[in-house]
Amino acid sequence: MMEIISIVALFINAVAAAPPLPPGVSRNTVINWDRPFHGGILGGVYYCDDIKWGKTCLYGAYELAKCHDVPNNWNDIISSFGPDKGTYCFVYEDVNCVGDSRLMQYPGSENLLRQGFNDRISSFSCGGYQE
Ligand SMILES: [Ca+2]
């Protein structure tokens, strides 16, 4: 029982410690499409090689407020990127979360051409928010 309480407390702390939403970003998101993993995992991120969640995809749950470089074989090929519900991420054109960036909030972008960021992501950093 204590373990469960500790885990819940950790989760709450993780949400509380998450960076605040940037100005102008809505906390209300509209789910207007389906994808294999909508998750709902805090820090959950789903990304694919092709637009519309095509070709090869990868899903993972990542530590918040920390920079994550994509694996080498994923560098500069990602064409769709979707944080889980309750998660937002900044994606960056260079490793170590530097360079040009875009904000991705659930459901993310199924076509990064629209954000001028197709085949450019090298790293990302995420935070959580409460609906
Ligand atoms: Ca691609």
Beta pairing partners, 103? 90
d(CA 125, CA 100): 13
pLDDT at residue 118 greater than cutoff 90: yes
Overall average pLDDT of the 5-28 stretch: 45
Residue 37 alpha carbon to ligand 1 centre in Å:
19
Residue 54 alpha carbon to ligand 1 centre in Å:
9
Residue 32 alpha carbon to ligand 1 centre in Å:
23
Residue 19 alpha carbon to ligand 1 centre in Å:
29
pLDDT at residue 8 greater than cutoff 70: no
| The pLDDT value given to residue 100 | 96
Residue 112 alpha carbon to ligand 1 centre in Å:
9
Residue 18, number of CB atoms within 10 A of its CB? 20
Q: Which among 94, 91, 98, 109 has a CA at the least distance from the CA of 48?
A: 109
d(CA 42, CA 33): 20
pLDDT at residue 81 greater than cutoff 70: yes
pLDDT at residue 108 greater than cutoff 90: yes
Map tokens 């944080």 to a residue.
83
CB-CB contact of 130 with 86 (8 Å): yes
Residue 46 alpha carbon to ligand 1 centre in Å:
14
Bigger pLDDT: 96 vs 62: 96
pLDDT at residue 7 greater than cutoff 70: no
- State percent of the chain over pLDDT 70: 69
| The pLDDT value given to residue 94 | 98
Domains of the chain in start order, with CATH, are 44-128 (2.60.20.10)
Beta pairing partners, 61? 44
Overall average pLDDT of the 94-118 stretch: 95
**pLDDT, tens digit (0-9, with 9 covering 90-100), for 18-75:** 444 444 433 333 333 345 455 677 888 889 999 998 888 888 888 899 999 999 999 9
Overall average pLDDT of the 78-101 stretch: 95
